[in-house]
Structure 1
Amino acid sequence: MLFKKKRLAVAITVFWVLLAYIVTGLGYWFIALEQRSRQISNYQIAELNPADPGYTVKYDAIVAQKKKRTAQYVGEGSTFLGLILLGAIFVYREVRRQIRLQLQQQNFMMAVTHELKTPIAVTKLNLETLLKHRLDEQKQQKMIQAALQETNRLDTLATNILVASQLEGEYIQSKESLDLSALVKHAMQDFAHRFPDRRWAERIEPGCTILGDPLLLQLLVNNLVENALKYSPREGVVTVSLEKKGRAVCLAIADQGPGIPEDEKKKIFDKFYRTGQESTRQTKGTGLGLYLCRKIADDHHAILKVADNSPIGSIFTVTFKMV
């Protein structure tokens, strides 16, 4: 990684040096042409006879010709300079975009590798323990529950990757009248069963009907709740509320985690984006969950926002239009 950063620094330095050289050469070209034009004008004026009745007219013509050449040089030089700068800006932005994408993909691969290895290792260890040892019923149930949770992590990861790929392709959404209240209620029952040791608070108003794709909306709710679980302390409360507000339906998921800095609140919805360094980050994830939430919200003409919770944490809200 250090070698790549050095190569990148060298490439950027060479780019700016070449750009400075080109601009300097353009300036030298303009000065040289202007000096030559002045010499030509001075030579033509020196050849004039002051006693000639048409001296003034000829002198003015020479001066006008010199100004015309200067205007031509300025126009051509400005055009070339503008094209060079536009090209340089375009190349620089594209290079930076490709570099950011490459770094994001590297972080994504590191995260996916970790996300795959950890649940596989935990599940394998639990199953081997169940096979090799005779455990009491309570311990067996606990290990089976842990294995199921890790399997659900794998399933969520595979679903996120698959749906992210499909949404960028030709995914055909199934828009239908949907009882969002029932969907959220069922999702929360599933989370309470999967995470019985976590604290939950629900305020789900019945009859919240919207137009949408059940699979995508289920993924939206799951990703937002899992994000709240991920960043909340084990003793913290995850609050899920769903209510009608006029002709809109508002879904809100609040956590009691560390919160999100202001400069990060827009970036967290970018594809593969995760705060901190991948090699030292403690929280799980691939940087796809919130990206998918924003994509799904946009596809349903909904508004996804994040705000600070009180006294600590974050609140993610999705506002839909009612049917």
Structure 2
Amino acid sequence: MKKSILIFYFLLLYALLEMFWWGSVVIDLQPQKMGMIMGEGSIFIFLLCVGAYFIHASIKKEDRLKEQQQNFLMSVTHELKSPLAAIKLSLQTIIKRDLEKAMQTSLLNNSLKDIERLDDLVENMLLATKIESRTYSFPKEEFDFSEMVTKITDRLQVHSCGNQQLINTKIKKGIKVMGDKFALSSVVTNLVENAVKYSGPCAEIAVELCQNDGKPFLTVSDKGPGIPEGEKMLIFDKFYRVGDENVRKSKGTGLGLFIVKEVLQNHDADISVKDNVPQGAIFEVTFN
């Protein structure tokens, strides 16, 4: 891509030099047309600069997209390898060692969690592909949204600090939604998984579902590093991830929030993000 930019600027410089050279030749031959040549030359330079700006912006955009796609492939590879390695290790341990029933059950439960993680990743990639190609129809039905949010938060619950519950929920029962159950479950899963991923060890995560003016209102709050003001809208772009890719430690593909935005748009719902206090982010989903 850098080579393309260099060639582009070389051709631009060549065109400008040619224009000045021909202009000087014409002025030497016909001095009386100097005003006309200067005026037309100025317009030409203006149009050339405008065109150069848009071409440069397009090349840079393609460069960023290519870099994001490469980062996506590396992230997906890592996301796939980690749970697969954990599952393999657990199964090998069960096969090779004479373990107590409780230990076997613990290893199998951990393997099931890793399989669910793989399943979520695959479903995310498939859903993102279908959404972008406009082949997903979003079949809608009325279902219990409160029950869905409860099940997802229970499944994603983390117990890494003894018996401390890291995901605190405040879910009003009986809230129903007319929508695509599968797609909306992906929205809730991605929001809660992001909160878990970006919050520090033992940090509290809050999930609240209530009704605001008779409409379902979901909030997911974390105690992570937060999102810079200039990136609050960019995070919903496909493959976009906050921070420097070279020093980032958190895992992810950059598809989660893209899916969240697209699914909610197809459900006439809005999502916004604001700062948590003293640190972190709060995602608010409002159904209209």
Does residue 106 (structure 1) correspond to residue 99 (structure 2)? The answer is no
User: Aligned pair count?
Assistant: 285
Which residue identity lines up with residue 243 of structure 1 in the other structure? C
Q: Which moved more, 1:80-89 or 1:148-157?
A: 80-89
| 8 Å Cα contact 2:227-2:242 kept in structure 1 | no
| 8 Å Cα contact 2:80-2:118 kept in structure 1 | yes
Residue-by-residue CA offset, 1:23-68 (whole Å, 9 max, x unaligned): 2332333343234322xx5xxxxxxxxxxxxxxxxxxxxxxxx5xx
Q: Structure 2 regions of 5+ residues with no counterpart?
A: none
Q: Which residue of 2 is the match for residue 290 of structure 1?
A: 257
Q: Which residue of 1 is the match for residue 55 of structure 2?
A: 91
- Among candidates 130, 135, 147, match of residue 99 of structure 2: 135
Q: Which residue of 1 is the match for residue 26 of structure 2?
A: 33
Q: Which residue of 2 is the match for residue 80 of structure 1?
A: 44
1:247 deviates by 4.4
Q: Which residue of 1 is the match for residue 152 of structure 2?
A: 187
Q: How does 1:202-241 map to 2 (within 5 A)?
A: 202-241=169-208
Does residue 126 (structure 1) correspond to residue 90 (structure 2)? The answer is yes
| 8 Å Cα contact 1:26-1:81 kept in structure 2 | no
Q: How does 1:43-54 map to 2 (within 5 A)?
A: none
SS in 1 for 2:277: coil
Which residue identity lines up with residue 189 of structure 1 in the other structure? D
Structure-2 separation of matches of 1:232 and 1:193:
12
RMSD: 2.4
Structure-1 separation of matches of 2:158 and 2:74:
30
Distance 1:34 1:178, change over 3 A: farther
Distance 1:20 1:151, change over 3 A: same
Q: Structure 1 regions of 5+ residues with no counterpart?
A: 1-6, 42-65
- Among candidates 216, 222, 227, match of residue 249 of structure 1: 216
Residue-by-residue CA offset, 1:170-227 (whole Å, 9 max, x unaligned): 2111123343222212322333499876422111123433332111100000010111
Residue-by-residue CA offset, 1:113-132 (whole Å, 9 max, x unaligned): 11111111110010010011
Structure-1 separation of matches of 2:186 and 2:136:
15
Structure-2 separation of matches of 1:281 and 1:130:
34
| 8 Å Cα contact 1:149-1:194 kept in structure 2 | no
Structure-1 separation of matches of 2:12 and 2:165:
58
Q: Which moved more, 1:157-166 or 1:290-299?
A: 290-299
Structure-1 separation of matches of 2:179 and 2:22:
63
1:303 deviates by 1.5
| 8 Å Cα contact 2:158-2:167 kept in structure 1 | no
| 8 Å Cα contact 2:5-2:59 kept in structure 1 | no
| 8 Å Cα contact 1:271-1:287 kept in structure 2 | yes
Q: Which residue of 1 is the match for residue 119 of structure 2?
A: 155
Distance 1:202 1:129, change over 3 A: same
Distance 1:247 1:74, change over 3 A: farther
Q: TM-score, normalised by structure 1?
A: 0.80
Structure-1 separation of matches of 2:28 and 2:246:
60
Q: TM-score, normalised by structure 2?
A: 0.89
| 8 Å Cα contact 1:173-1:213 kept in structure 2 | yes
Q: Which residue of 2 is the match for residue 62 of structure 1?
A: none
Structure-1 separation of matches of 2:132 and 2:4:
32
Which residue identity lines up with residue 224 of structure 2 in the other structure? G
SS in 2 for 1:203: strand
Distance 1:242 1:210, change over 3 A: same
